Structure 1
Amino acid sequence: MTTVFRRAYAGLRWLLVGTAVAAAVVGLSAVLSAVATGGPDDHTVAFRSVAADRSLAADTGISRQQAIDKALAAVPGGQVTSIQLDTDQGVAVWEVELTTPAGVEHDVTIDADSGQVRAVVDPD
């Protein structure tokens, strides 16, 4: 009877050791992956702050609707398919995508501070 318990305990012990080793390998893999991909505490020279982008959204000179109006004036008859606030060479810009009734897509870039149309890209 003691032999049965001894064998069962030995099997259980190896099962526990194997589980602990597997957990350590998985944990170490997760840590190495986070380090390799620049995890949440990535301190690199080319760091770009997401908070800076959010502050641009709060400090724009023209609103989203004003940007849409400027883009529609630049592409008469167009319909807005998307709009987003972005930066272009450190300047806050509204990027507006429009489609004309003929199906032609246009990308209009508008300075978010002055409201000036910076570019209208036609897919010629």
Structure 2
Amino acid sequence: MSEIYYTLIIKGVNRTSPPICAFLDTGSAFNVIRYDLPDGLPTVGLAKDYNSQGTKDVELIGYEESQTLPTVMFESITIGGLTITDPRFTSFSLAKIGDEAIIGYPLMQYLEMVIDFRKGKEGAKIYFEN
């Protein structure tokens, strides 16, 4: 099976992130982002809202048990040329993960993404319905 990544850009309160390589996880109900961004700066520096108490119980790949993780919300995110400001989709669980970010299926559905896994020279492709 192919692994699919897509470029994500986050607009924060004081600055905009560098391009982030986001793993598209059709089995995840949550969006997760790493503690540090590709530029080495902490992710919370971009947050519009930060909840250190943790509001989501998330089961991450490679972990046997779910964990309660803090959440961050951003001004907006841009993926596939589309900018999203809806708080339901600009909120991410903050975690120490190998990928820069993980995009769950609710955001993919909101964006009307279609993932074509048929084998070809370029591997899997992503389309947007609109």
Q: The TM-score by the shorter chain falls in which range?
A: under 0.3
Q: TM-score, normalised by structure 1?
A: 0.26
If asked which structure has higher relative contact order (CA below 8 Å, sep 6+), I would say 2
Higher share of residues assigned strand: 2
Higher Cα radius of gyration: 1
Higher share of residues assigned helix: 1
Q: TM-score, normalised by structure 2?
A: 0.25
